[in-house]
């Protein structure tokens, strides 16, 4: 990096709320909160339906891990 490419201390780039690892953690926390609310409201069927809803995502994730991406 050269001197002309450096960012001035007062002009740091601001990132959005859902950028990087912070965004992933927020999404996971919201999902866990949703599952907790569904389980508290509907009991075991609410937990089972949220588990069944995540099957396609988990399946695709396992395929991507197996392929190496």
- Over residues 22-38, the pLDDT tens digits come to 998 999 999 999 999 99
pLDDT at 11 over 60: no
The helix-helix angle for 55-67 and 44-53 (nearest 10°) equals 40
Dump strand ranges (E) for the chain. none
pLDDT at 13 over 70: no
How many Å apart are CA 51 and CA 47, to the nearest integer? 6
The structure's pTM equals 0.59
Identify which of 62, 66, 33, 64 has the alpha carbon closest to the alpha carbon of residue 50.
33
What percent of the chain shows pLDDT beyond 70? 74
pLDDT band, very low/low/confident/very high, at 5 (cuts 50, 70, 90): low
Specify the pLDDT at position 17: 65
């Amino acid at each position: 990096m050269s001197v002309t490419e450096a960012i001035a201390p007062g002009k740091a780039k601001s990132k959005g709320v859902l950028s990087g690892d912070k965004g992933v953690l927020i999404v996971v926390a919201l999902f866990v909160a949703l599952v907790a609310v569904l389980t508290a409201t509907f009991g075991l069927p609410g937990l089972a339906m949220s588990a069944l809803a995540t099957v396609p995502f988990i399946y695709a994730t396992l395929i991507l891990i197996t392929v190496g991406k």
